[in-house]
Structure 1
Amino acid sequence: MNGTEGPAFYVPMSNATGVVRSPYEYPQYYLVAPWAYGLLAAYMFFLIITGFPVNFLTLYVTIEHKKLRTPLNYILLNLAIADLFMVFGGFTTTMYTSLHGYFVFGRLGCNLEGFFATLGGEMGLWSLVVLAIERWMVVCKPVSNFRFGENHAIMGVAFTWVMACSCAVPPLVGWSRYIPEGMQCSCGVDYYTRTPGVNNESFVIYMFIVHFFIPLIVIFFCYGRLVCTVKEAAAQQQESETTQRAERE
């Protein structure tokens, strides 16, 4: 192991020199220079001031105007909510902790930040999956006369929440755990250690298959079929125009 493992943390640096300290209690300036933490805080601030207005206005405008409350927009609203989870649960926390150089909110704060950041990320991912499936169903028509309605949208939103929770909740109840990561100013799933009793290895495999590989395959399949269908339609239209031109001549 190249890093230093402690109670509920893993610092990616050997403690041979004795300088490594808990990221819940001490600044981690031995990992990178203090200016790097300031740069991270500035980047988080940029994400906040760009991410919050866009997603908040998306919610506000859609709620205020009935014409925008279409089934497809339910998924887009869900995506906006996911981004707001990231803004408040992830970016804001990371900006504050990076200004201090370590995760000042302690173990409980790490669990909360890790949960909301993971939840928002997974909601966004599965919302993109639902959008891809919706486009495939509507354009490619694998089911004749299919129309994406309100019930489909509600089921799609519910599905994204179930899948997001199936990834974000387990580390809170003993299957893996949330620990500070990277510069030790934000928290995420423990990919680094093999701590007995938390089964990190099995959870990482589960995440890779269910929450990365499967969504990737579904999105590639749906948009791949969409591109093929559009190309076929364009070819048929071109052939029809060529035939009509020949008949006129």
Structure 2
Amino acid sequence: MDPLFNTTEVPNGTVGSNGTNNGTVYRNQFVQPVWRIVLWAIAYSCIVVVSVVGNVTVIWIIMAHKRMRTVTNYFLLNLAFAEVSMSAFNTVINFAYAVHNEWYFGLIYCRFHNFFPIAAVFASIYSMTAIALDRYMAIIHPLQQRMSSTETKVVVGVIWVLALLLAFPQYYYSTTYQLPGRVVCYIEWPDYTTFDFQKIYHVCVAILIYFLPLLVMGCAYLVVGLNLWASEIPGDSSDRYKEQLTAKRKVVKMMIVVVCTFAICWLPFHVYFLLHQFFPELFEETYIQQFYLAIMWLAMSSTMYNPIIYCCLNDRFRAGFKQAFRCCPCVPPGSYEGLELKSTRYLQTQTSVYKGSRMETTVSTVLHAGEDAEHPKVKVRGGLGPGGAAVGVQPHSSTMDLTSNGSSSRSVSKTVSETSSFFSSNNLQE
């Protein structure tokens, strides 16, 4: 993925020891002062440290806590894995190669270096696309069945298979070449008379790993956003409904921020490569090296922002980060219950349902007693009064009480059933 080396500049003949080939001198024109290299090294090192630490923590939070193993979080796990892999295996190598314009790492890693970034970016953006479609189905079509854990893993596997297939040409045509005093790693595209394979491939890659998925996500989040924010909340809505709506808005807002961050970071990079395919003469100037280092830094920095976004916009991830870095003096103590199998809110909910169930049981007991007393018996209290008249003859008052209690029971039963149903669907949507 490094356009600093145009394949047409690599000679096919033998280069003499004097560094010339048919009168052409091959030299490394991209040499810069040490102070500039140090500044770029610090900038790229920050990406690697923040990205690796942050994404590994995200992976731990999801894998170590059952409550975090949801459909959305499985795709976030795949996204974190792709980003930490690209940051660890490609960022430093990209920087070293762009700075020195010399390849030190052999043919095998040259192929991996050109192959893996495309696969990782493909896996990252299509994980975000899958999340967008999942949010769309959960919010716009809430009655349809959600993906199971197994189906989610199958989708993740399919994403990676497609990613590897798309990146395979970069691996297959990658090679190294010995120039005077240095080795370069480049892609030797085949020459076809009918079409330009290199241009077609790069245009297809830009469409498939950037423009198309962003279009899909933009449409999905537009519809979801109109559904969640444009519609008014009914005035008589319960607090639980408003809480559920707020939770959905938070998740969608977090994912919109993630997608926008990715789009901003990678846009200059894709524009750069597309321009390089159609206007190669623009990239023969010395200043292009600094420009390339800047846009590559911006693209690689996309791997470090997502953990920060999760921590700022999601309560559970924030609790997980506090737990992971609890030994650091700068991290304030926080509640860890949000990551447990039963969170505080869940326990409060269960307590409320339990109380409602006990009330229903109590009322049902009274109802059963009332069924036995459907035809009330008259109890004679007292005896014969003066003159032999019967006194204290009154029917038992339980019949009147049962009418009221029966109505109350039906109301309580309906309330408890609705509450239980709500939390069952709510837990599925989380």
Judge same fold: TM > 0.5, yes or no.
yes
Aligned counterpart for 2:9 among listed residues 5, 12, 20 = 5
Q: Structure 2 vs 1, CA of residues 7 and 119 (structure 1 numbering), >3 Å: closer, same or farther? A: farther
Q: Structure 2 vs 1, CA of residues 19 and 7 (structure 1 numbering), >3 Å: closer, same or farther? A: closer
SS at match of 1:196: coil
Kept in 1: contact 2:127–2:156 (CA 8 A): yes
Aligned to 2:64: 64
Deviation at 1:186, TM superposition (A): 10
Q: Structure 2 vs 1, CA of residues 34 and 163 (structure 1 numbering), >3 Å: closer, same or farther? A: farther
2:74 matched to 1:74?
Answer: yes
Deviation at 1:98, TM superposition (A): 5.5
Deviation at 1:216, TM superposition (A): 1.8
Deviation at 1:118, TM superposition (A): 2.0
Kept in 1: contact 2:55–2:83 (CA 8 A): yes
Aligned counterpart for 1:241 among listed residues 235, 242, 247 = 235
Deviation at 1:114, TM superposition (A): 1.8
Deviation at 1:179, TM superposition (A): 8.3
Distance across 1 between alignment mates of 2:118 and 2:146: 32
Letter in 2 for 1:6: V
The aligned runs of 1:20-31 (5 Å cut-off) are: 20-21=26-27, 28=28, 30-31=29-30
Give the alignment's TM-score, normalised by structure 1.
0.71
Letter in 2 for 1:147: R
SS at match of 1:37: helix
Distance across 2 between alignment mates of 1:179 and 1:77: 35
Deviation at 1:203, TM superposition (A): 1.0
Q: Structure 2 vs 1, CA of residues 81 and 187 (structure 1 numbering), >3 Å: closer, same or farther? A: farther
Identical counterparts, % of pairs: 22
5+ long unaligned stretches in structure 2: 1-5, 13-22, 178-182, 237-430
> C-alpha deviations, 1:92-129, integer Å up to 9, x for none?
32344467553222443221112222222221111111
Distance across 2 between alignment mates of 1:118 and 1:201: 16
Q: Structure 2 vs 1, CA of residues 7 and 37 (structure 1 numbering), >3 Å: closer, same or farther? A: farther
Distance across 1 between alignment mates of 2:117 and 2:97: 15
Q: Structure 2 vs 1, CA of residues 73 and 108 (structure 1 numbering), >3 Å: closer, same or farther? A: same
Kept in 2: contact 1:42–1:95 (CA 8 A): no
Distance across 2 between alignment mates of 1:111 and 1:229: 46
Aligned to 1:111: 111
> C-alpha deviations, 1:76-105, integer Å up to 9, x for none?
110111011112221132344467553222
Q: Structure 2 vs 1, CA of residues 32 and 133 (structure 1 numbering), >3 Å: closer, same or farther? A: farther
Larger Rg: 2
SS at match of 2:231: helix
5+ long unaligned stretches in structure 1: 9-16, 22-27, 243-249
SS at match of 2:37: helix
Q: Structure 2 vs 1, CA of residues 126 and 135 (structure 1 numbering), >3 Å: closer, same or farther? A: same
Kept in 2: contact 1:127–1:157 (CA 8 A): yes
Distance across 2 between alignment mates of 1:194 and 1:64: 45
Q: Structure 2 vs 1, CA of residues 111 and 127 (structure 1 numbering), >3 Å: closer, same or farther? A: same
Deviation at 1:220, TM superposition (A): 0.9
Kept in 2: contact 1:62–1:68 (CA 8 A): yes
Q: Structure 2 vs 1, CA of residues 178 and 241 (structure 1 numbering), >3 Å: closer, same or farther? A: farther
Deviation at 1:18, TM superposition (A): 5.8
Aligned to 1:25: none
Kept in 1: contact 2:82–2:121 (CA 8 A): yes
The aligned runs of 1:48-197 (5 Å cut-off) are: 48-97=48-97, 100=100, 102-141=102-141, 144-174=143-173, 177=174, 196=191
Compute the RMSD of aligned alpha carbons. Answer: 3.5
Greater relative CO, 1 or 2 (CA 8 Å, sep 6+): 1
Kept in 1: contact 2:55–2:80 (CA 8 A): yes
Distance across 2 between alignment mates of 1:187 and 1:52: 26
Kept in 2: contact 1:110–1:187 (CA 8 A): yes
